[in-house]
Amino acid sequence: MKSTTMHPFIGHDKLQTSLGRACHLGNLPTGVLLHGPPGVGKQHLALWIAQVLLCSHKTPTGPCMVCKSCCLSLKVEHPDLHWFFPVSRPKNTGPNHLSTALETARQDSLISKREDFLRPTSAHTELQGIYLATIKYLRKQVYKRPSMSPSQVFILGDAQAMVSRDSSSEAANALLKVLEEPPSDTFFLITCDILKRLPATIISRTIPIHLPGLPTSKVKHFLMQNLEIEEKQADKAARLSRGSIGRSLGFLTENETEGTLELARQRSFKFLNACLQTNRTLIYEEAIKLSGTPSRILGPTIDSLGDALRDLALFILEDQDKIINTDTIKFLEGKCSKWNIHPRSITESFGYLDEAKEQMDSNINTQLIITNLLINVQEKLSERSK
């Protein structure tokens, strides 16, 4: 499944054409903010825009693909292409050496990304962020002259990580200073999952562009054509992808190892099963299994629980064609035969999932988060049941 050069950008053809034309005419704003669901291709599009900007013979439709700049950009090795993203904070590193340690961590991660551009979206076991020291390093690079091309391009992926609880808002404030007065021929391509997670001051200094999810058919076609995945597995991954190629990769099995999102999906149905009981025994048992598990990696499981609840509602409404977890039909049928659940109760339970996600960003015990979540969902589903 490895890809050592960037694969063609899939979907959003009209947007890609417009951006390519703007680069060719010299009309691209110096600050562009790409936002949309995780894994939908925001950083991939940013890398493509950077390739066009740095191309020696750019065309109205995009890069020439043959010049030296294009060859280097495709491997993310162009000296004027600077790609920043969240990394884990180095351990046992003092303030005087933090900047160097973070840059080393970024370079190590870049090597890994170059070896395989196709990576599934997944939660990290360690907290990752974009720290003040990293933004200070970026600012130093901004004011240096380009090494090879007339311009420099800075990509800041997952920029919402600047304002997480462990990296503070100082990094965002430091970035704002360079966005307000950027050097000439310098471009900033910023990505984030949810626009409201960025400070309004950052948003106001850029042009926001939303990337929605792709049609399921396009995700399926990509998996079959580029990864040679058999149709049945590609269809399953595409249905669960929410229109995100990166997310779809997390449901694939590679070397007999199930993807991280597939494991999260399986756990989510264990959670749902625990909620659909007359007592709390299974809820406590599922919570006990999470001993020592960092809360931040439970995001995909809570997302999958949302999908499972949605499928439950669709089954109750006899709209089974829209169910995405098609391998759980018998499970849903069995539960619905015992429980008279009102679809409104399912809708109202989604608020508890949002609360659990917010608690994940706080220093709250994982078992406590899941116990409270499942009990609340259980009680909500029971309100109009037998």
- Gap between the Cα atoms of 42 and 363, Å rounded: 29
Check pLDDT > 70 for residue 167: no
Residue 3 lies in a domain: no
How many percent of the chain have pLDDT more than 70?
A: 94
3-state secondary structure the chain: CCCCCCCCCCCCHHHHHHHHHHHHHCCCCCEEEEECCCCCCHHHHHHHHHHHHHCCCCECCECCCCCHHHHHHHCCCCCCEEEECCEECCCCCCHHHHHHHHHHHHHHHHHHHHHCCCCCCCCCCCCEECCHHHHHHHHHHHCCCCCCCCCEEEEECCHHHHHCCCCCCHHHHHHHHHHHCCCCCEEEEEEECCHHHCCHHHHHCCEEEECCCCCHHHHHHHHHHHCCCCHHHHHHHHHHCCCCHHHHHCCCEECCEECHHHHHHHHHHHHHHHHCCCCCHHHHHHHHCCCCCCHHHHHHHHHHHHHHHHHHHHHHCCCHHHCCCHHHHHHHHHHHHHCCCCHHHHHHHHHHHHHHHHHHCCCCCHHHHHHHHHHHHHHHHHCCCC
Q: Can you say how many angstroms the Cα of residue 6 is from the centroid of all Cα atoms in its chain?
A: 18
Residue 5 lies in a domain: no
Looking at the structure, tell me whether residues 275 and 249 fall in a common domain.
no
Check pLDDT > 60 for residue 164: no
pLDDT score, position 297 = 83
Residue 33 lies in a domain: yes
> Which tens digit of pLDDT belongs to each residue from 297-351?
888 999 999 999 999 999 999 999 999 999 999 999 999 999 999 999 999 999 9
Residue 8 lies in a domain: no
Check pLDDT > 60 for residue 126: yes
pLDDT score, position 166 = 47
pLDDT score, position 323 = 97
Looking at the structure, tell me whether residues 28 and 50 fall in a common domain.
yes
pLDDT score, position 342 = 92
Looking at the structure, tell me whether residues 60 and 185 fall in a common domain.
yes
pLDDT band at 385 (very low <50, low <70, confident <90, very high): low
pLDDT score, position 306 = 97
Residue 166 lies in a domain: yes
> Which tens digit of pLDDT belongs to each residue from 38-95?
999 999 999 999 999 999 999 999 999 999 999 999 999 999 999 999 998 888 888 8
How many percent of the chain have pLDDT more than 90?
A: 74
> Which tens digit of pLDDT belongs to each residue from 328-340?
999 999 999 999 9
pLDDT score, position 158 = 94
Tell how strand 257-258 and strand 87-88 pair up.
Answer: unpaired
Of the two residues 127 and 355, the one the predictor is more confident about is 355
Give me the chain's average pLDDT, please. Answer: 91
pLDDT score, position 363 = 72
226 lies in which domain range?
Answer: 215-257
Looking at the structure, tell me whether residues 204 and 86 fall in a common domain.
yes
Looking at the structure, tell me whether residues 108 and 128 fall in a common domain.
yes
Residue 7 lies in a domain: no
Q: Can you say how many angstroms the Cα of residue 213 is from the centroid of all Cα atoms in its chain?
A: 12
Environment class of 2 (CB within 10 Å of its CB; exposed 0-12, middle 13-18, buried 19+): exposed
Looking at the structure, tell me whether residues 282 and 331 fall in a common domain.
yes
pLDDT band at 139 (very low <50, low <70, confident <90, very high): very high
pLDDT score, position 89 = 86
pTM of the model: 0.88
Closest by Cα among 234, 237, 239, 236 to 221:
234
> Which residues pair with residue 83 across a beta bridge?
155
Number of residues written out for the chain: 386
Residue 186 lies in a domain: yes
Looking at the structure, tell me whether residues 71 and 34 fall in a common domain.
yes
pLDDT band at 16 (very low <50, low <70, confident <90, very high): very high
pLDDT score, position 64 = 95
Residue 317 lies in a domain: yes
Place of tokens 């006990």: 288
Total domains in the fold of the chain: 3
Q: Record the tokens describing residue 359, joined without a space.
A: 């608690």
Looking at the structure, tell me whether residues 162 and 277 fall in a common domain.
no
pLDDT score, position 174 = 92
Looking at the structure, tell me whether residues 54 and 187 fall in a common domain.
yes
pLDDT band at 384 (very low <50, low <70, confident <90, very high): low
pLDDT band at 386 (very low <50, low <70, confident <90, very high): very low
pLDDT score, position 163 = 62
> Which tens digit of pLDDT belongs to each residue from 250-296?
999 888 889 999 999 999 999 999 999 999 999 999 999 998 888 87
